[in-house]
Every structure is written in C-alpha cells, then in structure tokens.
Amino acid sequence: MHWDTGNIGFMLVSTSLVMLMTPGLAFFYGGLVGRKNVLTIMIQSFVSMGVTTVLWAICGYSMCFSGSYGDAANPDFFGVIGNFRHAFLMNMGPTTGFPASPTLPLIVFVAYQMMFAQITPALITGAFANRVRFKAYLLFLIAWLLLVYFPFAHMVWGGGILQKSGVLDFAGGIVVHCIAGMAALAAVFYVGRRKVQDKGPHSIPLVALGTGLLWFGWYGFNAGSELKVDPVTSLAFLNTDVAASFAAITWLILAWIIEKKPKFVGLLTGSIAGLAAVTPAAGYVSTATAILIGILASIVCYYAIWLKNRLDWDDALDVWGVHGVGGILGVICLGLFAFKAVNPDGGADGLLHGNPAFFLKEVGSVLFAAVYAFVFTYLMLIVINRITPVKVSKDEEELGLDEVEHGEVAYL
C-alpha cells in the first residue's frame, strides 16, 4: 500500500483542529453564563469528549459508517443507520485503507469523524444553561447520540438514504448545526425559563477566547471535510474565513445601528453565525457566494434572536438562533447557489444554476432533520425525566449549579 503521507498529515492536523473546537465551545459558553454556573456549562462540553469517544469506539463509528443503502453485500438498516461490522472498531487496522481515499488509513477517518460527534451534542448545552442536572445530561448525551446524531451522520455521510438520493452537506449544516439547534429549541420548551436570570456574560474575554478557538478549529472542520488536499480544500478554507469575517462585520454594523453601540459580543456571535451557515456549502460554492452567505447569516440570525426574545423563549446562549437557523439557512443557500464548476467531482448545480431538483432535495432534507431532531429530543427528555429529574429547583438555581452539582467554584 502506498500511503499519501502529506494527506495523512493534513487530516491529522484537521482532526486536531476539530478536537480543539469542543474546549473552545466550553470557553465560549463559559464566558456567556454567570459566575456561579461557569464550571457546569464547561464540564458539559468536556465530558462530551470522553463519553462520545467511548460510545464511538463501542458502536458509534459503526452505526454511522458501516453498510450502505441498497448494497446487498453490505446492507445498512433501511438507509437510516449502519450495521455493526465495525463495532468495537473491529475489522480494521493501521494498514486498512479508507475506501473513499485508499491512500488514507481508515483509522484517520475514524478519528476525524469522532471529533464531529464530540462537539455536536455539546452545542445543545448552551440552550438549557443553569437548569439541567448533570446526571440527566449524561443520559441525554448518550441517548441523543444514539437516536439523533448517529442516524443523521449515516443518512447524510455514511451511505444512507439521504446521501444516496443526492443530498449534499459538505461539513455539517444538516448533520451538526440543524439537528443541534432544533434539539436546543426542544430542550428550551421542555425545561422552561430560568427562575434566576443571569445578569449577562460574566467574562467577555472568555467568550472571545472561545470564539478564537472555534474559528481556528473551523478550518479543520470545513477544509478537512474534503478528506484530501486539492483545490476544493483551499476553496473551503477561504470560504470559511470570508463568511465568518463578513458575518462578524455585518452583525457589528447591524447591532451598532439598532442598539446604538458596537458590541464585542455581537461581533463574536456574528462570526459564529457565519461559520455555521457556510459549513454545509463551503466546498460547493464560489467565494463570492460564501461572502453573501456570511452577510445573510448575520441578518437572518440577528432577527431570529430578536424573534426568540419577543416570543420569550429562554434559549440562554442562542443555540437555536445561531446554529439552528444558521445551519438551516446554509443548507437552503447550498440548494440555491451550489455550482458544480467549483467542485466538478463531488458538487452539484443549485436552483440558480438550473437544477431545481437539487434545491428541493436540500430543503426537504433539512426540514426533515429539523422536525426529527425536535420531536426526538423532546420525547427523550420526557423519558429521561421519568428516570431521574431533569430540572433543578429554584433554590439550586439561586445557589448556582457549580456548587450544587459539582461542589466546585470557578472563582473564590
């Protein structure tokens, strides 16, 4: 076997960058909550790294990437979930090639996709900040991976029914941001409003640090999703940066006009909205389109948060407004603006390039994902609450979950 050592090195770096995003998310969320709940929200991200890795090795990778819809020799289960050929990482070794790119070891792909699985449920935690018991969160983490993330990873990326029907999602608009954002909204409705409101972000510098780590890691998230080094890799890298930058500046200007001050948190939030929105399209659209996606993401997500506030939904850290709405917008933009000329091997033409069928597939798949994630998450929380209480009491909220749940405090 001739290994492409340059590509292996690139993918290992990309894997490391995506891994860094989960600690980055912990800092981002940790800065946004009050001082009494910093450790609680941060451990929810860090524990996802451990729990998800254990589950990934036992069955997660196999459920996502074993079997293929319509393949009689290696079937999956109804195009929705993979088989268990690679449970406990069986039937692979250091010299097993990755079928889609035989010069890349399969174990590199296993590690890379594991990092996506780690961060996706952690995104949801910002929605129910300060309100959920740690034991219930651990049960939620396991159940949500098994029943929501793993099926969608298989359906869209692992040879499942959506992939076979021609649905594209370059790096996770459907598989990561849409389902996490809609799960967050379901969690908000289930757990209800906080009884003790935070006064605002307790540490904007922590938010900035988290944003920087997320933005940096996103290059591995998007550019690495090409799974090799070629011109599309470079396109995805550039599209990631320009979408984030234009989104950040658009949000800053919009907030400055409406709120009369150029808010730092707004700039940071805008960049994340742009990153989320460009994720599904990064390797399928031109850079001019990525700029447009960044601008649209800021405007649409800004007003989604405004609507959430008007409707009195207590999505504490705006997971639905940024990741859910941003991811859905990105998939719709992919359906509109995809251009096969920028990615002749793996891309497609969108509605504006004469392919309405592709647009309908993208819109239909993201709506299906949104409904599925919302319904399954809500039902899951009902079941978990019968096993162990999900919500904390008002007195526990008042004291702070760092002390109540973990017996530790961030600041003396």
User: According to the model, what pLDDT value does residue 306 have?
Assistant: 97
Cα(17)–Cα(225) distance, integer angstroms = 12
Residue 392 has pLDDT above 80, yes or no: yes
Provide the greatest CA pair distance for the chain. 63
Q: What is the pTM of this model?
A: 0.96
Q: Which residue has the tokens 């906080």?
A: 194
The Cα 203–Cα 200 span in angstroms is: 9
- Six-digit token string for 288: 């001019």
Position 1 scores a pLDDT of 63
Other Cβ atoms within 10 Å of 25 Cβ, number: 28
Cβ atoms of residues 227 and 104 within 8 Å: yes
- In this prediction, residues 221-229 reach a mean pLDDT of 96
pLDDT at 263: 95
In the structure, how many helices (H) and strands (E) does the chain have? 17, 2
- Spell out the domains of the chain, with CATH numbers in brackets: 5-406 (1.10.3430.10)
Q: How far apart are CA 217 and CA 230, in angstroms?
A: 19
* pLDDT digits 0-9 by tens, 48-88: 999 999 999 999 999 999 999 999 999 999 999 999 999 99
Task: Give the phi and the psi of residue 131 in degrees, each rounded to 5.
Answer: -130, -10
Tell me which H or E stretch contains 271: helix 264-278
Residue 412 confidence (pLDDT): 84
Residue 149: both structure tokens together = 């993330």
CA 150-154-159 angle, to 5 degrees, is 165
Confirm if 80 and 160 have CB atoms less than 8 A apart. Answer: yes
Task: Give the β-pairing of 97-98 and 101-105.
Answer: antiparallel
8 Å CB contact between 156 and 178: no
Neighbours of 64 (CB within 10 A): 30
